Amino acid sequence: MTRPIFAVIDSVALKHNYWKAKSIAPKSRIWAVVKANAYGHGIETVARTLYDADGFALLEIEQAIKLRRLGFKQPIMLLEGVFSPAELEVAAQYGLTVVIYTHQHIEWLQQAKLTKPLSIGLKLNTGMNRLGFPAELVHGLVRHLESCPYVADVMLMTHFANADEGKNGINWQYQRFCKATRGLNLPVCMANSASLIAYPDTRQDWVRPGLMLYGASPFPNMTAVQLGLQPVMSLVSRIIAIQLLNAGDGVGYGTTFLAPQAMRIGVVACGYADGYPRHAPTGTPVWVAGQRSQLVGRVSMDMATIDLSHIPQADLGSEVELWGRHISIDEVAISAETVSYELMCAISERVPIRETTLSACAF
Ligand SMILES: *Cc1c(COP(=O)(O)O)cnc(C)c1O
């Protein structure tokens, strides 16, 4: 038998979340963001499930080509653009949409001789100061692009720094975008998950949700359940050993946990080399044998230890959910002082991805 850890992907939940995004932004087309191996969920599994998505957005050109070879015909956007002039030709051949955000990109476009014209996402910086041209340059840039023989069409884009932070999180950036782009009649794409949910004005021609598709909440003060989202990934494993502790016995590296009384401890085949956060402290919730319990002691590379004292039915082989249907990934993220994005992306290659359409059991 193989090591009993799996990332179980619920494709029904994934579809549900996609349609939830659609129902919130019914007039927008959706770039389903599948970067970072679909936030750790497996890009092939996710793309096959969302086969009718309006478009896919990701980073690596190799992954985009893979989707084309699998037969996906919808627009595919390279969110970080291309990294050399030669890649422009590859992007054109495969019909990819390329985000541009530096003058160097424009030079490459002007000098390129492409077999087909390219679709361009023109990224405007409205205050996040990461990628994008100063928004105020947009009119000149568009004129420039429209005179390039190999530009098929242009979509205007920006990205918000604080869409997850309540009332006025995006207004200043949104105003700057609107002011700068006034008079241009081009499709617009600005919303990530948080913005799509919280700011109706940002549901433009296109939206680009990632996190919400995977069933986690982009907001610190709202749960995925409250947002009507369903968890897509369950990280599950099994108990591979049991230890009986006396009061005063320690568990794991550093002996950071000392048993206050006699305890029964389960050793789970899941550690930080699987992507489970090493910083998850004692008390981080887990689900075992149909009940909630918690981590005790430090997470090590290949194992974690959990309290079974109050769960007599838990035994060798009992299933453990580290996050998923019963324990929300957001809750684990808060406990480990990170965000669910990071937990999802950290799932390592040694964790096999399994697809399920069953809603009752994890395996
Ligand atoms: C990752 C990413 C998104 C998706 O963000 P979520 O918060 O996961 O919805 C959208 N736009 C850009 C530019 C991104 O890099």
Catalytic residue among 15, 20, 35, 123: 35
The helix/strand/coil state of 302 is coil
d(CA 202, CA 196): 6
- In the annotation, is 20 catalytic? no
Catalytic residue among 51, 116, 179, 253: 253
* Mean pLDDT, all residues of the chain: 96
- The whole-number pLDDT of residue 165 equals 82
Asked whether 210 lines ligand 1 (CB < 6 A), one says yes
- The whole-number pLDDT of residue 251 equals 96
- In the annotation, is 101 catalytic? no
Asked whether 190 lines ligand 1 (CB < 6 A), one says no
How many C-beta neighbours within 10 Å does residue 230 have? 18
pLDDT in tens, 167-200: 668 999 999 999 999 999 999 999 999 999 999 9
DSSP structure string for 207-272: E---GGGGT--S-TTS-TTTTT----EEEEEEEEEEEEE-TT-EESGGG-EE-SS-EEEEEES--G
pLDDT in tens, 73-91: 999 999 999 999 999 999 9
Residues 329, 231 contacting (CB under 8 angstroms): yes
Give 319's DSSP letter: E
